[in-house]
Structure formats: structure tokens, C-alpha cells
Structure 1
Amino acid sequence: MRSNVNISAIARTASACAVKRLILCGNAKLISKIARDGADALEVDIHRTLPPVLRAYREQGYRIVGLEQTTHSQNLHHYTFKERTVIVIGNERLGLQADVLAELDDVVEIPVWGMPHSYNAASATAMALYEYCRQFPLGG
């Protein structure tokens, strides 16, 4: 993800949804004014590349779910999350790269009815996290 504003908004939402860890790649930084208290409640890990991290989580029993529009993606409204889930969000412009897509167990997308054909990364993440929390109100 390229935007520290989006990353910070995601951190705030993730914290509100009781997410335990935020995994970032590259030069990502949280902006405390946007993340607010969310940054304090999250464990933030920064890695150079994502595929090895996703493989490690899969080995620990997590389901790896990407938020992306693909020909095989499932509608978020009909998707059943597993309690132990890692939700993967891609770059704002390019989405998830091929090496990351190859590591996913499932791909979900949020229906779009107007223009543009996708949601902002932080907004889409909020919708996906809300749906996860709806399915697991006591956390995962």
C-alpha cells in the first residue's frame, strides 16, 4: 500500500474491530493523528515481502483471504470467514500482486454499483472487517 493516510485509517478501523496485528510492507508509516488510539492497541509488523509471512500464518492454521476483484472472487456478502483469518489488502492502484494472489486461500470482493469500479482501500478494509466482526462478534 502506498498511502500512509490509508494505512493509518486502516489501523484505526482495525483497532476498533479488535484486530491484534497489522502487517505492513515497504516504507509504511502510521500517522498518529489519523490512526488516533488505534496505533497503540495494535501490534504492527513491517516486512520486506508478504508471501513468506502469509505462508507462515497458513502453517499456523490461518485462512488467507485477499480483498480484490478477480474472475474467481466471492461476494463479501455471501462469504463465510473462518475464525482464524488473515485479510490481505493490496496497493491502491495495482491491487494485489501475482505473488500474493498465489498465496491466497480465497479472494473476496465488495460489489460496486457505480463509478469508479472499486472502493478506496481504507473504506474496503473497513467493510471487510465489519463483516468479519458481524460473523464473529466476540472476536477471532
Structure 2
Amino acid sequence: MPKFEHLRHKAPRQLTQPRGLLLACAPLRSNVNLSRIARAAGCCGVERIVCAGKAKLDPKIARDACESIQLESHRSLAPVLKKLKAEGYTLVGLEQTTNSSDLHHYQFDRRTVLVIGNERQGLTEDLLAELDAVIEIPVWGMPYSYNVATATVMAMYEYCRQYPEG
């Protein structure tokens, strides 16, 4: 008998409280990236994604997340971030800046909004001005940064590692 039995899908872990993580996305160039972010957010138990611009999920990519995630579209992200900060969320940008913290050493607050920038331009100055912290993911080769969907998934996973119960 084999030591490990193949099991195609395990039931998701149950959170003991709602996930304290929200995502806020600047206008992304690709709905494919947004759909990949949404699919991973669903796996992480994230229930809400706030987007600026014309956000649309591809149901073939986002799959079950289309049903479980509230996707909000706004003309501008800055006013939404101000409102979320007033509600007690810590605003954390995912960007390379002069003073950004290494993801490996950053301790997330439980109530966090992870702010994601555009694939090419990153986070604009007006959005950076709203943030409480900025984190970056180190790279060891070229190019200088990960794809926006990949980086977002890595940051969400680190948050979930720090708060596995919700």
C-alpha cells in the first residue's frame, strides 16, 4: 500500500472568522491578470476586490471565485482607500519603492487592504501618498519584478500564512 493516497481535491479549510484582507487594484491592462488574482483570492478566502477602471472577470479563468467574491468597480481608487483607512484598515501597497519592506519580513495587520498597481506604471504618486506601508517581493534575476498576478498571489499567501484562521 502506498504511503500517500492520491486525493484530487480536499475540502477547503474553514475560516474561524471572516478574512480581514481586501484587495484594491489600480486599473489593470489585462482582465486575465485580474481574473487570475480573483481566482487566487477565492482560494485565500478573500471576499472583496475593489478595482478602478473597467474591471471584468473572465469566468473561465476566475472560475468559482466569480460566485464568492464581491467585485466593485470605481472610477478612482484614492477616495475608496481613504474610506477604507477611516474604517480601520491598514493600506499596504505592493510596489518597489525607496523605503518598501521585504515581504519576508513584513508583519501584516489583520485588517489590511493590499493595494495593487498597474502592470506597467505600478502605483501612482496619489495612491502611494495614501498608503501606510509598501512591501516588495525580492527577485534574484531578470526581469526586475514578478507579473502583477503572481506577485499579488505571493503577497496574499504570506498574509494567509500569518493569519491562517481568518
TM-score band, normalised by shorter chain: over 0.9
Deviation of the 1:24 alpha carbon: 0.9
* Alpha-carbon separation, structure 2, partners of 1:110 and 1:18: 22
For residue 5 of structure 1, give the secondary structure of its aligned residue in structure 2: helix
**Corresponding position of 1:43:** 70
Q: Write out aligned runs for 1:29-108 (5 A).
A: 29-108=56-135
Q: Decide which of 55, 62, 86 is 1:28's aligned counterpart.
A: 55
**Corresponding position of 1:128:** 155
The alignment status of 1:14 with 2:38, answered yes or no, reads: no
Deviation of the 1:9 alpha carbon: 0.2
Q: Greater share of helix residues, 1 or 2?
A: 1
* Alpha-carbon separation, structure 1, partners of 2:153 and 2:92: 15
Q: Is the 8 A contact 1:2 1:28 kept in 2?
A: no
Deviation of the 1:97 alpha carbon: 0.6
Deviation of the 1:27 alpha carbon: 1.1
For residue 146 of structure 2, give the secondary structure of its aligned residue in structure 1: coil
Deviation of the 1:72 alpha carbon: 0.6
Structure 1: stretches of 5+ with no match in the other structure: none
* Alpha-carbon separation, structure 1, partners of 2:47 and 2:112: 11
Q: Which structure has the greater CA radius of gyration?
A: 2
For residue 134 of structure 2, give the secondary structure of its aligned residue in structure 1: strand
* Alpha-carbon separation, structure 2, partners of 1:16 and 1:123: 14
Deviation of the 1:11 alpha carbon: 0.2
Deviation of the 1:2 alpha carbon: 1.1
The alignment status of 1:109 with 2:136, answered yes or no, reads: yes
Structure 2: stretches of 5+ with no match in the other structure: 1-27
RMSD of Structure 2 on Structure 1 (CA): 0.5
Q: Percent identity?
A: 61
For residue 122 of structure 1, give the secondary structure of its aligned residue in structure 2: helix
Deviation of the 1:20 alpha carbon: 1.4
Letter in 1 for 2:159: Y
Letter in 2 for 1:93: R
Deviation of the 1:17 alpha carbon: 0.3
